[in-house]
A and B are shown apart, each in its own frame.
Chain A
Amino acid sequence: MLLTSYLLAGLAIALAWPVPVWLSRARFTSRSPFTTLIFWQAIALAGGLSMIGAMLIWGLAPLGDNLLSGLGALWGVVSGRLSADHLGPVHLFALSAAVLLGLHLVFTLLLTWVRVHRHRSRHRKLLALLSNPAPSDSRTVVVQHDAPVAYCLPGLTSSVTVVSRGLMEALDPEGLKAVLAHERAHLDQRHDLLVLAFESWHQALPWLPTSKLARGAVHELIEMLADDAALRQVDSAVLLRALITAATGEAPPPGASSGLPEGDLSAQRLKRLITPSPRLSRSARLALVAAAVLLVVAPTVLLVAPALPL
């Protein structure tokens, strides 16, 4: 039990700092955004699992040889059938921390979901009063505004892409097609769920290097995926021109700007549009996916497996 908890703690530390730092600096990520996204999800999932698991197993160590027997004995202590003599204050502390961390993660996710949902439905109601359906596309609405703006509003039943009149006037039909394909990809691939998960992970543990790096990387990677989807319909020069128009047609109103992380990562997104590099090889992608699966399986096995022979 003790060895298991140390292994889990080691994994938790690796996933909290060195692994995400390595991945966020890696050059290959823009060559296969989808595979990289899978890897980030594995890091988050395995990180949470090993963090909670390490404390749980360590706290249960005096009570049993594995997770199940330990939990069984803990129930005995709680219900008064067994004496709590073996359980010191440090073990109780570890157990409480494990439970609190688990609850904290779940409730932060729920809270973020509720807030986002409320915000979106308010926005949707106002949009219903202020927008008109686009002539060409039933899933797109037009807002009478001069600034060139495009964004998507995800919803379970009614996802829409919103474009401003300013953007429609500034873009030729091909450019508009590029922007709409980009936004539509966000909606069709449910990128909002990924953003929601990693946003709440960051809000729950803002001091953790992983949560910040992962959030930034996920924002970047979904944009790349949406760019790739747009590139299946238009060529990269059209997409680039559309992006420039949307970004520089008019400065955002005071105090507001786009919420995307800026800096090197954004430049990376643009660079891959200007000078496309080949996609990662099939074997490299398979290796990444295999590593991601291993990352999640390892703490799971450590948690449920019988005691290690030590």
Chain B
Amino acid sequence: MASLGDLERSVMDLLWDSTEAQTANSLRDALAHAGAEDGKELAVTTVLTVLARLEKKDLVARERDTRPHQYRAVMSREEHTVELMNEALGNVMDREAVLARFIGGISGGEAAALRRLLEGPAAEAARPLDSGTPHTTSGQSA
């Protein structure tokens, strides 16, 4: 492993999973511990490079009050995921954003039309499809 991209991910995982801010040294130790089997020495400077890249991407914040500096994740993993999904779901007004993710997705309006269209023959349509309850599709006579 040990490409910068892989290291970025490992560092972010460590920061997301820890409740406290971490120093580059402690991150290095944790990374070395996790990847002990490949026997490679990981230099602190490499970790600092990765942290600098993540800081530039606004994923990591540095606390400069302490020596050595401490690093923490700007947002939690869940918050980032929500941001990612918001971006993916897009905004009707923001055509460019939609384009960027190019969703082959399905809108709520379509679902409502579909429900109307399905009403009658299929019993499934009569079942309320409330938001928030992922409904599992059971064996259905179609």
Q: Are A245 and B134 in contact (CB under 8 A)?
A: yes
- Report if B98 contacts A (CB, 8 A): yes
- Report if A171 contacts B (CB, 8 A): yes
Q: Are B84 and A130 in contact (CB under 8 A)?
A: yes
Q: Are B140 and A237 in contact (CB under 8 A)?
A: yes
Query: Contact mask A62-87 → B, CB, 8 Å, 1/0?
Result: 00000000000000000000000000
Q: How many residues on A have C-beta within 8 angstroms of the other chain's C-beta atoms?
A: 74
Q: Are B82 and A243 in contact (CB under 8 A)?
A: no
Which one of B87, B92, B134 lies within 8 Å of A250 (CB-CB)?
A: B134
Decide: A186 near B102, CB < 8 A? Known: A129-B12, A169-B134: yes
CA A127 to CA B99, docked complex, whole Å: 17
CA A263 to CA B110, docked complex, whole Å: 8
Complex contacts, B5 vs chain A, CB 8 Å: 128
Query: Contact mask B40-83 → A, CB, 8 Å, 1/0?
Result: 00000000000000000101000000000000000001101111
Decide: A252 near B117, CB < 8 A? Known: A199-B95, A258-B108: no
Q: Are B134 and A151 in contact (CB under 8 A)?
A: no
Q: Are B89 and A253 in contact (CB under 8 A)?
A: yes
Closest to A126 in B: B84
Q: How far is the CB of B60 from chain A (nearest CB, A)?
A: 11
Which one of A192, A251, A269 lies within 8 Å of B108 (CB-CB)?
A: A251
- Report if A143 contacts B (CB, 8 A): yes
CA A293 to CA B89, docked complex, whole Å: 37
Decide: A247 near B106, CB < 8 A? Known: A164-B85, A196-B99, A256-B89: yes
- Report if B118 contacts A (CB, 8 A): yes
Decide: A149 near B105, CB < 8 A? Known: A170-B136, A237-B142, A270-B110: yes
Complex contacts, A250 vs chain B, CB 8 Å: 131-132, 134
Decide: A262 near B85, CB < 8 A? Known: A116-B100, A196-B99, A241-B137: no
Q: How many residues on B have C-beta within 8 angstroms of the other chain's C-beta atoms?
A: 55
- Which residues from 252 to 310 on chain A have a C-beta closer than 8 Å to any C-beta of chain B? 252-253, 255-260, 262-263, 266-267, 269-271, 274
Query: Contact mask A99-131 → B, CB, 8 Å, 1/0?
Result: 000000000000010011001100101111110
Decide: A151 near B140, CB < 8 A? Known: A244-B114, A247-B111: no
Q: Are A252 and B89 in contact (CB under 8 A)?
A: yes
Q: Are A256 and B131 in contact (CB under 8 A)?
A: no
Which one of A169, A202, A258 lies within 8 Å of B89 (CB-CB)?
A: A258
Closest to A241 in B: B137
Top 4 closest pairs, chain A to chain B, by CB:
A259-B98, A247-B111, A119-B100, A170-B134
19 A-B pairs whose Cβ atoms sit less than 8 Å apart in the complex: A112-B96, A123-B100, A128-B9, A149-B105, A162-B88, A222-B104, A244-B129, A248-B131, A250-B132, A251-B132, A253-B86, A258-B103, A258-B107, A259-B91, A259-B92, A260-B105, A260-B107, A267-B117, A270-B117
